[in-house]
Homo-oligomer: A and B are copies of this chain.
Amino acid sequence: MSEGVPGKDRNLIAGWHDAPARASERRETRRRALILAAGRAFGRRGFHNTTLDDIAAQLSVTKPMLYRYVRNKHEILYECHRIAVGMAEEAYEEALRQVESPLERIRRFSEGYITRMTSELGTCVVLTEYYSMTPEHNELIERRRRVLDAGLRQLVQQAVDAGEIEPCDPKLAVFFFMGAINNINRWFTEGGPLAGEEIAVVFSNHIINGLRPTREGARPGREASGA
């Protein structure tokens, strides 16, 4: 996104005011920038607490301009959710492609998903507020989420069957770690102390190893034996 384009960049939000040449191409870029700005605001302050005027101001234009790029406010929210599931699906398929072991696939998925979610585009994403979508949009997103969920549960089940992990309820297991992951946007801030990849690795480890009790599980009488 941030090319070596000379001079301009009059705005914080990338890609709006530097018009990339040809019409239809610019249109796409701007639409993207709009979704990004809106998504961030939605994530931080919520869908209904963010007005179109706010978003427009972010891009230093006025509200009616936005309607050149999106049909209405709900479409923006829908796009955000599409990006979000899209990233999860991508990570899932990538994981299937890259490794064989079910457990390792889960790790890859988690890492890939988190990495995407904390990327520039990802930070725009809203995982909460699915209830603010129109029923039609919600249905579309839900459907995709359900498919993904089923895939993940299957992975967990396979990991159990392969003896890689102890038996557990796949449904709850998936709820568990997806909950942890989907909550990241609540506290993550781009440019904060934590890099996305860092979080991805740490979280994935927690998913698989938990708080990772030490073998001898020191007695309640505590006694640190060599870290």
Interface centre among A187, A194, A213, A217 (most CB of B within 10 A): A213
CB distance from A36 to the nearest CB of B (A): 19
Chain A residues 201-227 with CB under 8 Å of chain B are: 202-203, 205-214, 216-225, 227
B131 touches A211 (CB 8 A): no
A213 touches B46 (CB 8 A): no
CB distance from A225 to the nearest CB of B (A): 5
Q: Mark A36-77, 1 if CB is under 8 A from B, else 0.
A: 000000001111110000000000000000000000000000
How many identical subunits does the complex contain?
A: 2
Query: Measured between alpha carbons, how far is A213 from B129 in the docked complex, in Å?
Result: 34
Write the residues of chain A forming the contact surface with B, with a CB cutoff of 8 angstroms: 44-49, 99-101, 103-104, 106, 128-129, 131-132, 156, 159-169, 172-173, 175-184, 186-187, 194, 199, 202-203, 205-214, 216-225, 227
